[in-house]
Amino acid sequence: MTTVDTILAHAAARRDASRARWFEWLRIPSVSAQPQHAPDCRRAAEWMAEQLRAIGFTAELKDTAGHPVVLGHHPGPTGGGRHLLFYGHYDVQPAEPLELWTSPPFEPVLVDGPHGQRAVARGAVDDKGQVMTWLEALRFWHDTQGGPPCRVTVMVEGEEETGSKNLPDFLDAHADALRDADVVVISDSNMWNLDTPSIVTSVRGLLYTQLDITAANKDLHSGLYGGSALNPINLITRILGDLKDDTGEILIRGFYDDVPELSAAQRAQWDALQFDEGAFLGGVGLSVPSGEITRAPLERLWARPTVDVNGIWGGYTGEGAKTVIPSTAHAKVSFRLVAGQSATKVLAGFRDFIVARLPDDAQVKIQVFSLGEGLQIPADSPFVRAAQVALTAEFGKPAVLQGGGGSLPVVGQIKEIIGLDCLLVGFGLDDDQVHSPNEKFDLVCFERGIDSHIRLLAALAEA
């Protein structure tokens, strides 16, 4: 019996205890966005620190301008060799609207699902459940081997759900200690499906803007001025309508200049997944794909940049009629950017695109709320290869090397400030209802996540 087999058997015999600890943490309503829950956020951080100390880590809370960061360290068997940094977050989204929950959001319950039992609670998967997969793996290494097979540092923050606004300062302050690690391991993503693990090797960046277009110096009566005065809502909708052509291609000058093409190997792997876009859209009541029609579905979702109008408003929107030509119109416009693109360059191109379409009587203000680059994680790194070995041993099939359509600001912050790549191995499913009422995590995913991290620790220590 190998060392890993011994640890896996030990973990399998203690599923109930793992579940009990997980549920204990879920009962702490650590909602970072709501000031009344600040004491709960600190309590959730203290809970994590206590768990780390119980398995041989030194651990303490590091205060920030917001919620504290838990920082723990274990020297490993020799104090040298490979050094892993595990990242996670203990904060959760607000549970509202409460009336849509089938059970109290901070009283975790087990319910039956199509894949066996699942735990329902806020934070069940995002990210307390996923953090628990590697925390329990570290626990079982400690129980059976006296500790992990290499040096391990743990960093668990409490503001991921509100943008990790104080994490850059924390990373700056502790950069010397953190950059000694070889790679950052993060479980805050999904598997391809219940039986197929995945490693996320690219994430898209986010440029998020607001347009404010002004014409007249006050709202106007449409009967008196209609046909003569410029209407900013008409103008802004016409400009936004020009952003794409009928094939879905984005028409900002130079927008695609730095967008890389997929490799033949990556394209072949994604094609082999046989992604059912009809079923994907059907689940949200749609039937016709959008975006660049000349590109394959997964390429559009994972490897191509996008632009979307996220909100638009102006004039009178109350009940009844008010015949007004508004003086201003507003829109929220976001771009998902891929590795290689410069968010600053895209912003400049977007500004030029807007200004070129403004008549003399219109002025525009562009506010920027997010400016983040996309990232590519080398698929041939020793850590990705080691993760593939560990996940193949657990699932009996290779992991999908997939893109991430959304943005993970922390990945960019870690790369920029301490210069480390992240290994993104998650165990959620698409139907986990993350950020929604009745968030859940299937027990089979939770348990396979623990076992995968047991194997992953061994594989990464030897990578």
pLDDT at 283: 87
pLDDT at 372: 87
Q: Does some domain include residue 256?
A: yes
pLDDT at 102: 98
Q: Are residues 332 and 248 in the same domain?
A: yes
Q: Does some domain include residue 271?
A: no
pLDDT at 405: 85
Q: Are residues 307 and 439 in the same domain?
A: no
Q: Are residues 64 and 191 in the same domain?
A: yes
pLDDT at 408: 81
Q: Are residues 58 and 151 in the same domain?
A: yes
Q: Are residues 34 and 183 in the same domain?
A: yes
Contacts of 415 (CB under 8 A, 6+ apart): 375, 421, 422
Tell me, what CATH number does 174's domain have? 3.40.630.10
Q: Are residues 192 and 213 in the same domain?
A: no
Q: How many CB atoms lie within 10 A of CB 49?
A: 21
The structure's pTM equals: 0.89
Q: Does some domain include residue 279?
A: no
Domain end residue (candidates: 332, 347, 371)? 371
Q: Are residues 115 and 36 in the same domain?
A: yes
Q: What distance in Å separates the CA atoms of residue 139 and residue 149, rounded to the nearest whole number?
A: 12
pLDDT at 347: 98
Q: Does some domain include residue 325?
A: yes
Q: Are residues 89 and 122 in the same domain?
A: yes
pLDDT at 378: 87
pLDDT at 78: 79
Domain end residue (candidates: 371, 404, 436)? 371
pLDDT at 406: 82
Q: Does some domain include residue 272?
A: no
Tell me, what CATH number does 233's domain have? 3.30.70.360
Q: Does some domain include residue 276?
A: no
pLDDT at 409: 83
pLDDT at 138: 98
Q: Are residues 130 and 168 in the same domain?
A: yes
238 lies in which domain range?
205-263+291-371
Q: Are residues 187 and 328 in the same domain?
A: no
Domain end residue (candidates: 371, 390, 418)? 371
pLDDT at 248: 97
Q: Does some domain include residue 333?
A: yes
pLDDT at 47: 99
List residues bridging with 428 in a β-sheet. 190
Q: Are residues 73 and 146 in the same domain?
A: yes
Q: Are residues 336 and 212 in the same domain?
A: yes
Q: How many domains does the chain have?
A: 2
pLDDT tens for the chain, residues 1 to 463: 899 999 999 999 999 999 999 999 999 999 999 999 999 999 999 999 999 999 999 999 999 999 999 999 999 997 678 999 999 999 999 999 999 999 999 999 999 999 999 999 999 999 999 999 999 999 999 999 999 999 999 999 999 999 899 999 999 999 999 999 999 999 999 999 999 999 999 999 999 999 999 999 999 999 999 999 999 999 999 999 999 999 999 999 999 999 999 999 999 999 999 999 999 999 889 999 999 999 999 999 999 999 999 999 999 999 999 999 999 999 999 999 999 999 999 999 999 999 999 999 999 999 999 888 899 988 889 999 999 999 999 999 999 999 988 878 899 899 999 999 999 999 999 999 999 999 999 999 999 999 999 999 999 999 8
Q: Does some domain include residue 275?
A: no
